[in-house]
Amino acid sequence: MKKFMFVNRKAPYGTIYALESLEVVLITATFDQDVSLVFMDDGVYELVKGQQTKGIGIKNFSPSYRALEGYDIEKLYVDQASLERRGLTPADLLVSVEVLDKQALGELMQQQDVVLSF
């Protein structure tokens, strides 16, 4: 089993990165790998509660983050400074996450076999 970290740094609907990341995460979990997700910079917007996408004609994929637990993906880390800069707190997010500073995230990153950026 390898340790995979997915670093998400893009807002959800302006580009396809966030959705693509989620799909690769689910595939990786299917192969029984150790998966962790980091949300940093605009990536923290992926987890914001209350997304309503009907008006823009794009599927709202945010509920999928709540389903990750069912795939044994429970390591969700959010960068504290990125949250604060955007006026967000963990209460604004649709899943429970571990909020860490960049030093702690860097240490986790260093322990990985594979780091993928989205």
Number of residues that bind another protein (CB under 8 A): 21
105 lies in the site for another protein, by CB under 8 A: yes
SS3 40: coil
Rounded to 5 degrees, what are φ and ψ at 90?
A: -55, -25
Stretches 29-37, 45-53, 65-73, 106-114: which one binds another protein (CB under 8 A)?
Answer: 106-114
**Min. distance of Cβ 108 from another protein in angstroms?**
10
Which contacts (CB < 8 Å, 24+ apart) does range 21-28 have?
Answer: 21/116, 21/118, 22/61, 22/64, 22/65, 24/116, 24/118, 25/68, 25/73, 26/64, 26/68, 26/71, 28/4
Tell me 48's DSSP state: B
113 lies in the site for another protein, by CB under 8 A: yes
Among 17, 39, 45, 65, binds another protein (CB under 8 A): 17
- By beta-carbon proximity to another protein, the closer residue of 67 and 114 is 114
- By beta-carbon proximity to another protein, the closer residue of 58 and 114 is 114
Rounded to 5 degrees, what are φ and ψ at 55?
A: -65, -20
Which residues here bind another protein, judged by CB under 8 A? 7, 9-10, 17, 40-41, 79, 81, 102-103, 105-107, 109-110, 112-115, 117-118
